[in-house]
Amino acid sequence: MPLTLQSDTGRLKKVIVQHARDAFDATAKLAAEWQPLNFTACPDFAKAQAESDAFIALLRRLGAEVLELPRDDTRSIDSIYVRDAGVVCDRGLILCSMGKPTRRGEPAALRRAAELWDLPIAGEITGNGRLEGGDVAWVDPRTLAVARGYRTNDEGSRQLRVLLGDYIDELVVVPLPHYRGPSDVFHLMSVYSPLAPGLALVHSPLMPIPFRELLLAKGTALVEVAPGEFDTLGCNALAVAPRVCLLAAGNPLTKRRLLDAGCEVHEFAGEEIAKKGGGGPTCLTRPLWREESM
């Protein structure tokens, strides 16, 4: 099978993760940062490390090579959500420019790691452009959806389109609702998780109508997150292969809906590393290489 970076559903072959021991560093760092960064509660450092161990082991068991982002003292505890610092395409890694000011150092740290790992860098978002990886998702290998919200602005999307060049046919801008305001953790992938070609997990009440209609026009079947499970990250599922996904434990009704849609669901304990910071398995990973979905 050929490898691609322009997929969110192909079989995951290589992925970047930030372990809690390096993102959270110590109880003192957690105590100082969790409230300013709008975590719902202070993560337990020991439990968070155990959850990271289990999460990484699960990814490896499902066939992915896991690259652990090195510790970098310039970053906040938000750095555990590694997806946001970069976007990938078949040209390589595009470094983002974070909309959240306290995360501005993360793309530079990702650059240093990419150079260490000899990953190709295709460009970066600069100047007034703002772009976060959680706002970017592949609809198909030639169509990329990019949110317009509080974390990603028009200039960031414009620069991304230029960097992608003829590697895509269409960049679809998806305006996000205000919802809970600028300080909330709200990305495109908060309401849209691709599961396989033609299948996605969504939260329609917060989806822009034109984007939802685009998915339906492309023949995408939509699995709705169960009522009451959006706030427990029920809409945030990471595809590790077509119709094989990771889901934070504690979303039994959504899990049932995914099973009914023909998906294989692997749950992980994410109370400390996921739920308290509002970032599910897509946020905790920066997928690199995938096998093309056929």
Token pair listed for 183: 């300080």
Domains defined along the chain, listed by start: 8-291 (3.75.10.10)
Report the pLDDT value the prediction gives residue 262, as an integer from 0 to 100: 98
CA atoms of 117 and 112, how far apart (whole Å) = 9
Report the pLDDT value the prediction gives residue 180, as an integer from 0 to 100: 85
Q: What rounded mean pLDDT belongs to the chain?
A: 95
CA atoms of 280 and 246, how far apart (whole Å) = 9
pLDDT in tens, 148-163: 999 999 999 999 999 9
Contact of 84 with 132, CB cutoff 8 Å: yes
Report the pLDDT value the prediction gives residue 294, as an integer from 0 to 100: 56
Residues of the chain with pLDDT under 70: 1-2, 293-294
Prediction pTM value: 0.94
Q: Pick the closest to residue 261 from 188, 201, 193, 190 (CA basis).
A: 201
Task: Please tell me the number of Cα atoms within 13 Å of 243 on its side-chain side.
Answer: 12
CA atoms of 47 and 50, how far apart (whole Å) = 5
Report the pLDDT value the prediction gives residue 218, as an integer from 0 to 100: 95
CA atoms of 75 and 202, how far apart (whole Å) = 31
Token pair listed for 51: 């959850």
Contact of 58 with 266, CB cutoff 8 Å: yes
Token pair listed for 226: 């169960």
Cα-flanking dihedrals φ and ψ of residue 246, to 5°? -105, 140
